[in-house]
Structure 1
Amino acid sequence: MQCLLCHRQIREAWPLGSLILPQRKRISTTCAECLGTFHKIRLKTSCVGCGRHQGSKNLCQDCQKWQAKVNYHFVNHALYQYDATMKQYMHDYKFQGHYQLRHVFARVFSQFIAAQSKADYLVALPIDDQTWQTRGFNQVTGLLEDLQTIEILNMKRNADEKRQSQKKRHERLKTSNHFQIDVECPEQIKDKQILLLDDVYTTGRTLRHAAETLYAAGCRTVESITLCR
Protein backbone atom coordinates (compact mmCIF):
# COMPACT_ATOMS: atom_id res chain seq x y z
CA MET A 1 0.00 0.00 0.00
CA GLN A 2 1.33 3.44 -0.93
CA CYS A 3 0.96 6.39 1.43
CA LEU A 4 -1.76 8.72 0.19
CA LEU A 5 0.36 11.76 1.00
CA CYS A 6 3.98 10.96 0.10
CA HIS A 7 3.24 7.95 -2.16
CA ARG A 8 6.01 5.86 -0.62
CA GLN A 9 5.41 2.20 0.12
CA ILE A 10 4.06 1.58 3.62
CA ARG A 11 5.80 -1.30 5.32
CA GLU A 12 4.15 -2.68 8.42
CA ALA A 13 4.28 -5.90 10.41
CA TRP A 14 1.26 -8.20 10.36
CA PRO A 15 0.67 -10.14 13.59
CA LEU A 16 -0.05 -13.86 13.22
CA GLY A 17 -3.67 -13.34 14.33
CA SER A 18 -4.31 -10.92 11.46
CA LEU A 19 -3.21 -13.57 8.96
CA ILE A 20 -5.75 -16.00 10.37
CA LEU A 21 -8.48 -13.36 10.74
CA PRO A 22 -7.51 -10.63 8.26
CA GLN A 23 -10.55 -8.49 9.04
CA ARG A 24 -8.95 -7.65 12.40
CA LYS A 25 -6.06 -5.89 10.65
CA ARG A 26 -6.85 -2.69 8.81
CA ILE A 27 -4.54 -1.57 6.07
CA SER A 28 -2.86 1.77 6.74
CA THR A 29 -3.44 4.45 4.15
CA THR A 30 -0.89 6.94 5.45
CA CYS A 31 2.66 6.39 6.67
CA ALA A 32 3.71 7.25 10.22
CA GLU A 33 6.10 9.94 8.98
CA CYS A 34 3.33 11.85 7.20
CA LEU A 35 0.87 11.46 10.06
CA GLY A 36 3.53 12.84 12.39
CA THR A 37 3.49 16.15 10.54
CA PHE A 38 -0.07 16.84 11.74
CA HIS A 39 -0.48 18.10 15.30
CA LYS A 40 -3.30 17.03 17.56
CA ILE A 41 -4.92 19.46 19.97
CA ARG A 42 -4.54 18.60 23.64
CA LEU A 43 -7.99 18.71 25.19
CA LYS A 44 -6.55 19.59 28.59
CA THR A 45 -5.02 22.80 27.25
CA SER A 46 -7.48 23.96 24.61
CA CYS A 47 -10.19 26.61 24.67
CA VAL A 48 -13.34 25.17 26.23
CA GLY A 49 -15.45 27.21 23.83
CA CYS A 50 -14.04 26.36 20.40
CA GLY A 51 -11.24 23.82 20.92
CA ARG A 52 -8.46 26.21 19.85
CA HIS A 53 -4.92 25.03 20.64
CA GLN A 54 -3.51 27.17 23.44
CA GLY A 55 -1.88 26.88 26.86
CA SER A 56 -4.98 26.68 29.04
CA LYS A 57 -8.68 25.77 29.07
CA ASN A 58 -9.69 29.41 29.41
CA LEU A 59 -11.99 30.95 26.81
CA CYS A 60 -9.98 32.41 23.95
CA GLN A 61 -10.57 36.01 22.86
CA ASP A 62 -12.76 34.92 19.96
CA CYS A 63 -15.07 32.96 22.25
CA GLN A 64 -15.25 35.81 24.72
CA LYS A 65 -16.46 38.04 21.89
CA TRP A 66 -19.04 35.44 20.82
CA GLN A 67 -20.34 35.12 24.39
CA ALA A 68 -20.88 38.87 24.53
CA LYS A 69 -23.00 38.69 21.35
CA VAL A 70 -25.15 35.59 21.79
CA ASN A 71 -27.35 34.06 24.48
CA TYR A 72 -27.35 30.40 23.48
CA HIS A 73 -25.13 27.45 24.40
CA PHE A 74 -22.61 26.36 21.78
CA VAL A 75 -19.18 24.73 22.05
CA ASN A 76 -16.87 23.11 19.53
CA HIS A 77 -14.38 20.28 19.98
CA ALA A 78 -11.52 19.84 17.52
CA LEU A 79 -8.97 17.10 16.90
CA TYR A 80 -6.10 18.73 14.98
CA GLN A 81 -4.48 22.14 14.74
CA TYR A 82 -5.25 24.04 11.57
CA ASP A 83 -1.60 24.75 10.81
CA ALA A 84 0.31 24.96 7.53
CA THR A 85 0.41 21.18 7.07
CA MET A 86 -3.33 20.82 7.62
CA LYS A 87 -4.07 23.76 5.32
CA GLN A 88 -2.14 22.05 2.54
CA TYR A 89 -4.05 18.83 3.16
CA MET A 90 -7.39 20.67 3.01
CA HIS A 91 -6.34 22.42 -0.18
CA ASP A 92 -5.55 19.11 -1.85
CA TYR A 93 -8.60 17.31 -0.46
CA LYS A 94 -11.29 19.95 -0.92
CA PHE A 95 -10.14 22.31 -3.64
CA GLN A 96 -8.06 19.99 -5.80
CA GLY A 97 -10.73 17.30 -5.54
CA HIS A 98 -8.52 14.46 -4.30
CA TYR A 99 -11.37 12.52 -2.73
CA GLN A 100 -9.19 9.54 -1.83
CA LEU A 101 -7.47 11.75 0.76
CA ARG A 102 -10.54 11.33 2.95
CA HIS A 103 -8.99 8.06 4.10
CA VAL A 104 -6.12 9.89 5.83
CA PHE A 105 -8.38 11.03 8.70
CA ALA A 106 -11.71 9.21 8.30
CA ARG A 107 -10.97 6.52 10.88
CA VAL A 108 -9.43 8.69 13.60
CA PHE A 109 -11.98 11.48 13.12
CA SER A 110 -14.92 9.07 13.32
CA GLN A 111 -13.48 7.49 16.46
CA PHE A 112 -13.05 10.95 17.99
CA ILE A 113 -16.68 11.82 17.22
CA ALA A 114 -17.97 8.52 18.63
CA ALA A 115 -16.00 9.01 21.85
CA GLN A 116 -17.26 12.59 22.36
CA SER A 117 -20.85 12.26 21.24
CA LYS A 118 -23.91 11.93 23.46
CA ALA A 119 -26.21 13.56 20.93
CA ASP A 120 -29.52 12.33 19.59
CA TYR A 121 -28.48 13.15 16.04
CA LEU A 122 -25.22 13.68 14.16
CA VAL A 123 -25.55 16.31 11.43
CA ALA A 124 -22.84 16.87 8.83
CA LEU A 125 -22.85 20.44 7.55
CA PRO A 126 -24.25 20.50 4.00
CA ILE A 127 -22.71 22.24 1.01
CA ASP A 128 -24.57 24.40 -1.50
CA ASP A 129 -25.59 23.29 -4.98
CA GLN A 130 -22.79 25.16 -6.73
CA THR A 131 -20.16 23.48 -4.58
CA TRP A 132 -21.73 20.10 -5.36
CA GLN A 133 -21.40 20.85 -9.06
CA THR A 134 -17.79 21.99 -8.91
CA ARG A 135 -16.38 19.71 -6.18
CA GLY A 136 -18.61 16.69 -6.61
CA PHE A 137 -18.59 15.63 -2.96
CA ASN A 138 -19.26 16.86 0.56
CA GLN A 139 -15.87 17.00 2.25
CA VAL A 140 -17.45 16.49 5.69
CA THR A 141 -19.32 13.26 4.97
CA GLY A 142 -16.20 12.02 3.21
CA LEU A 143 -14.39 12.18 6.55
CA LEU A 144 -16.99 10.07 8.33
CA GLU A 145 -16.62 6.31 8.61
CA ASP A 146 -19.52 4.10 9.75
CA LEU A 147 -21.32 6.96 11.50
CA GLN A 148 -25.03 7.49 10.99
CA THR A 149 -25.95 11.07 10.22
CA ILE A 150 -29.25 12.69 9.31
CA GLU A 151 -29.91 15.47 6.82
CA ILE A 152 -31.88 18.17 8.59
CA LEU A 153 -30.19 21.23 7.11
CA ASN A 154 -29.75 22.53 3.61
CA MET A 155 -27.79 25.52 2.34
CA LYS A 156 -29.01 28.08 -0.17
CA ARG A 157 -26.41 30.55 -1.36
CA ASN A 158 -26.47 33.11 -4.20
CA ALA A 159 -24.46 31.89 -7.16
CA ASP A 160 -22.41 35.11 -7.31
CA GLU A 161 -21.51 35.13 -3.61
CA LYS A 162 -17.96 34.33 -2.54
CA ARG A 163 -17.28 30.98 -0.88
CA GLN A 164 -16.25 31.17 2.78
CA SER A 165 -12.74 30.05 1.81
CA GLN A 166 -12.47 33.09 -0.48
CA LYS A 167 -13.41 35.60 2.20
CA LYS A 168 -11.23 37.48 4.62
CA ARG A 169 -11.95 37.19 8.34
CA HIS A 170 -14.12 40.31 8.60
CA GLU A 171 -16.10 39.18 5.55
CA ARG A 172 -16.69 35.73 7.05
CA LEU A 173 -18.07 37.25 10.23
CA LYS A 174 -20.55 39.35 8.23
CA THR A 175 -21.82 36.42 6.16
CA SER A 176 -25.59 35.98 6.14
CA ASN A 177 -27.23 32.78 7.39
CA HIS A 178 -27.83 30.48 4.42
CA PHE A 179 -29.08 27.45 6.36
CA GLN A 180 -32.66 26.20 6.35
CA ILE A 181 -34.36 23.34 8.15
CA ASP A 182 -34.94 20.43 5.80
CA VAL A 183 -37.06 17.85 7.60
CA GLU A 184 -40.51 16.56 6.71
CA CYS A 185 -41.60 16.70 10.33
CA PRO A 186 -40.07 19.49 12.47
CA GLU A 187 -41.18 17.57 15.58
CA GLN A 188 -38.42 15.08 14.75
CA ILE A 189 -35.76 17.47 16.08
CA LYS A 190 -37.71 19.34 18.76
CA ASP A 191 -36.00 19.10 22.18
CA LYS A 192 -33.22 16.95 20.68
CA GLN A 193 -29.48 17.21 21.23
CA ILE A 194 -27.68 17.88 17.95
CA LEU A 195 -24.00 17.44 17.18
CA LEU A 196 -22.84 19.32 14.09
CA LEU A 197 -19.86 17.92 12.16
CA ASP A 198 -17.53 20.00 9.99
CA ASP A 199 -14.01 19.88 8.66
CA VAL A 200 -12.60 23.23 9.81
CA TYR A 201 -13.52 25.78 12.48
CA THR A 202 -12.07 29.16 11.54
CA THR A 203 -14.17 32.09 12.76
CA GLY A 204 -17.07 29.89 13.86
CA ARG A 205 -19.56 31.92 11.83
CA THR A 206 -20.82 29.05 9.66
CA LEU A 207 -21.26 26.61 12.53
CA ARG A 208 -23.01 29.22 14.63
CA HIS A 209 -25.39 30.03 11.80
CA ALA A 210 -26.27 26.33 11.67
CA ALA A 211 -26.68 26.24 15.45
CA GLU A 212 -28.93 29.32 15.43
CA THR A 213 -31.11 27.73 12.74
CA LEU A 214 -31.47 24.54 14.77
CA TYR A 215 -32.20 26.36 18.01
CA ALA A 216 -34.90 28.36 16.23
CA ALA A 217 -36.43 25.03 15.16
CA GLY A 218 -36.69 23.91 18.78
CA CYS A 219 -33.55 21.83 19.34
CA ARG A 220 -32.53 21.56 23.00
CA THR A 221 -28.74 21.76 22.64
CA VAL A 222 -26.41 22.18 19.67
CA GLU A 223 -22.66 21.58 19.78
CA SER A 224 -20.09 20.72 17.13
CA ILE A 225 -16.98 18.69 16.38
CA THR A 226 -14.51 19.61 13.68
CA LEU A 227 -11.46 17.85 12.35
CA CYS A 228 -9.34 20.93 12.95
CA ARG A 229 -9.32 24.34 14.55
Structure 2
Amino acid sequence: MHQYKAVGDYRLHTAFRADLCTLCRGVGRLVPLTTEPSHYARRGFDPVVGLFGHLKLWGCLTKNDTDLPQSRKKRGARLRTPQSFVCTASTAELARVRQICLVDDLYTTGTTLHHAAQALRDAGYRGIIISRTLIR
Protein backbone atom coordinates (compact mmCIF):
# COMPACT_ATOMS: atom_id res chain seq x y z
CA MET A 1 0.00 0.00 0.00
CA HIS A 2 2.91 2.33 0.70
CA GLN A 3 4.27 1.78 -2.81
CA TYR A 4 0.82 2.43 -4.30
CA LYS A 5 -0.30 5.46 -2.29
CA ALA A 6 2.81 7.15 -0.91
CA VAL A 7 5.19 6.46 -3.78
CA GLY A 8 2.43 6.81 -6.39
CA ASP A 9 2.99 3.55 -8.25
CA TYR A 10 -0.35 3.48 -10.06
CA ARG A 11 0.53 0.24 -11.85
CA LEU A 12 -0.41 -1.58 -8.63
CA HIS A 13 -4.08 -0.55 -8.89
CA THR A 14 -4.94 -3.85 -10.60
CA ALA A 15 -3.21 -6.10 -8.04
CA PHE A 16 -6.43 -6.87 -6.14
CA ARG A 17 -8.92 -6.70 -8.99
CA ALA A 18 -10.28 -10.26 -8.67
CA ASP A 19 -10.43 -10.05 -4.87
CA LEU A 20 -12.35 -6.77 -5.00
CA CYS A 21 -14.83 -8.19 -7.50
CA THR A 22 -15.57 -11.01 -5.07
CA LEU A 23 -15.64 -8.70 -2.04
CA CYS A 24 -18.13 -6.32 -3.65
CA ARG A 25 -20.43 -8.74 -5.45
CA GLY A 26 -24.11 -8.05 -4.73
CA VAL A 27 -23.60 -5.50 -1.95
CA GLY A 28 -25.59 -2.56 -3.37
CA ARG A 29 -24.50 0.72 -4.94
CA LEU A 30 -20.75 1.14 -4.52
CA VAL A 31 -19.76 4.57 -3.24
CA PRO A 32 -16.01 5.24 -3.17
CA LEU A 33 -14.48 7.29 -0.37
CA THR A 34 -12.59 9.63 -2.61
CA THR A 35 -9.35 11.37 -1.78
CA GLU A 36 -9.01 15.02 -0.87
CA PRO A 37 -8.39 17.44 -3.76
CA SER A 38 -4.90 18.36 -2.50
CA HIS A 39 -3.92 14.69 -2.22
CA TYR A 40 -5.22 14.04 -5.71
CA ALA A 41 -3.21 16.97 -7.07
CA ARG A 42 -0.03 15.76 -5.36
CA ARG A 43 -0.44 12.05 -6.19
CA GLY A 44 -2.04 12.41 -9.61
CA PHE A 45 -4.70 9.75 -9.00
CA ASP A 46 -7.34 8.70 -6.50
CA PRO A 47 -6.21 5.46 -4.81
CA VAL A 48 -9.72 4.23 -3.98
CA VAL A 49 -11.08 4.92 -7.46
CA GLY A 50 -7.96 3.27 -8.88
CA LEU A 51 -8.51 0.10 -6.87
CA PHE A 52 -12.30 -0.13 -7.29
CA GLY A 53 -12.58 1.64 -10.66
CA HIS A 54 -13.21 -1.55 -12.62
CA LEU A 55 -16.52 -1.84 -10.73
CA LYS A 56 -19.57 0.36 -11.25
CA LEU A 57 -19.09 3.23 -8.80
CA TRP A 58 -21.50 5.95 -7.76
CA GLY A 59 -19.51 9.08 -6.99
CA CYS A 60 -22.08 10.80 -4.76
CA LEU A 61 -19.60 11.84 -2.06
CA THR A 62 -16.92 14.49 -2.30
CA LYS A 63 -14.25 15.12 0.28
CA ASN A 64 -12.93 18.50 1.31
CA ASP A 65 -9.32 19.06 2.30
CA THR A 66 -8.38 18.47 5.94
CA ASP A 67 -5.40 19.72 7.92
CA LEU A 68 -3.41 16.47 7.65
CA PRO A 69 -3.95 13.14 5.89
CA GLN A 70 -5.21 10.35 8.16
CA SER A 71 -1.97 8.44 7.55
CA ARG A 72 0.01 11.15 9.34
CA LYS A 73 -2.19 11.16 12.43
CA LYS A 74 -2.09 9.04 15.56
CA ARG A 75 -5.22 7.22 16.67
CA GLY A 76 -6.56 10.02 18.89
CA ALA A 77 -6.15 12.63 16.18
CA ARG A 78 -7.82 10.36 13.64
CA LEU A 79 -10.83 9.96 15.91
CA ARG A 80 -11.09 13.76 16.33
CA THR A 81 -10.90 14.52 12.60
CA PRO A 82 -13.81 16.78 11.65
CA GLN A 83 -16.36 15.83 9.02
CA SER A 84 -15.02 16.43 5.51
CA PHE A 85 -17.51 14.57 3.29
CA VAL A 86 -20.43 16.11 1.43
CA CYS A 87 -23.13 14.14 -0.38
CA THR A 88 -23.82 15.52 -3.86
CA ALA A 89 -26.79 13.26 -4.65
CA SER A 90 -30.32 14.63 -4.52
CA THR A 91 -32.87 13.37 -2.02
CA ALA A 92 -34.77 11.80 -4.94
CA GLU A 93 -31.65 9.92 -6.10
CA LEU A 94 -30.95 8.69 -2.59
CA ALA A 95 -34.55 7.52 -2.15
CA ARG A 96 -34.18 5.14 -5.12
CA VAL A 97 -31.26 3.25 -3.54
CA ARG A 98 -31.97 0.44 -1.08
CA GLN A 99 -28.39 -0.28 -0.01
CA ILE A 100 -25.14 1.66 -0.28
CA CYS A 101 -21.77 0.02 0.14
CA LEU A 102 -18.98 2.43 1.01
CA VAL A 103 -15.66 1.26 -0.45
CA ASP A 104 -12.24 2.30 0.82
CA ASP A 105 -8.68 1.07 0.62
CA LEU A 106 -7.73 1.00 4.30
CA TYR A 107 -9.68 0.77 7.58
CA THR A 108 -7.86 2.03 10.65
CA THR A 109 -10.21 3.67 13.16
CA GLY A 110 -13.38 3.74 11.09
CA THR A 111 -13.64 7.53 11.30
CA THR A 112 -13.60 8.01 7.53
CA LEU A 113 -16.37 5.44 7.01
CA HIS A 114 -18.47 6.93 9.82
CA HIS A 115 -18.12 10.42 8.38
CA ALA A 116 -19.10 9.21 4.90
CA ALA A 117 -22.15 7.42 6.29
CA GLN A 118 -23.14 10.50 8.28
CA ALA A 119 -22.88 12.69 5.16
CA LEU A 120 -25.30 10.33 3.41
CA ARG A 121 -27.68 10.40 6.38
CA ASP A 122 -27.47 14.20 6.58
CA ALA A 123 -28.44 14.34 2.90
CA GLY A 124 -31.54 12.28 3.62
CA TYR A 125 -30.50 8.71 2.87
CA ARG A 126 -32.58 6.26 4.93
CA GLY A 127 -31.51 2.94 3.45
CA ILE A 128 -28.88 0.44 4.53
CA ILE A 129 -25.23 1.46 4.62
CA ILE A 130 -22.49 -1.17 4.70
CA SER A 131 -18.81 -0.99 3.86
CA ARG A 132 -16.00 -2.94 2.25
CA THR A 133 -12.32 -2.15 2.62
CA LEU A 134 -9.35 -3.79 1.04
CA ILE A 135 -7.23 -3.79 4.23
CA ARG A 136 -8.03 -3.71 7.89
Is 1:176 the counterpart of 2:87 in the alignment?
A: no
Q: Give the partner amino acid of 1:206.
A: T
Q: Secondary structure at the match of 2:95?
A: coil
Where 1:176 maps in the other structure, the secondary structure is coil
1:82 corresponds in structure 2 to none
Output one character per residue of 1:10-41: Cα deviation in whole Å (capped at 9) or x when no partner: xxxxxxxxxxxxxxxxxxxxxxxxxxxxxxxx
Do residues 98 (structure 1) and 9 (structure 2) align? Answer: yes
Name structure 2 gaps, 5 residues minimum: none
| Structure 1 runs, 4 residues or longer, greater than 2 Å off | none
Determine which structure has greater relative contact order: mean sequence separation of CA pairs < 8 Å that are 6+ residues apart, divided by chain length.
2
**Structural RMSD (CA):** 1.4
TM superposition score normalised by structure 1: 0.56
**Structure 1 gap segments, 5+ residues each:** 1-89
SS of equivalent to 2:52: coil
The counterpart of 1:139, out of the listed 47, 64, 77, is 47
* Residue 16 of structure 2 is aligned to residue 111 of structure 1: no
Q: How many residues of Structure 1 are paired with residues of Structure 2 in the alignment?
A: 134
Aligned to 2:62: 154
Greater C-alpha radius of gyration: 1
% same residue: 37
Query: How far apart are 1:113 and its partner, in Å?
Result: 1.0
1:218-229 aligned within 5 A: 218-219=124-125, 220-229=127-136
Give the Cα–Cα distance (whole angstroms) in 1 for the partners of residues 54 and 42 of structure 2.
26
Distance (whole Å) between structure 2 residues aligned to residue 195 and residue 204 of structure 1:
14
Letter in 2 for 1:92: Q
- Quote the offset at 1:165 in angstroms: 0.5
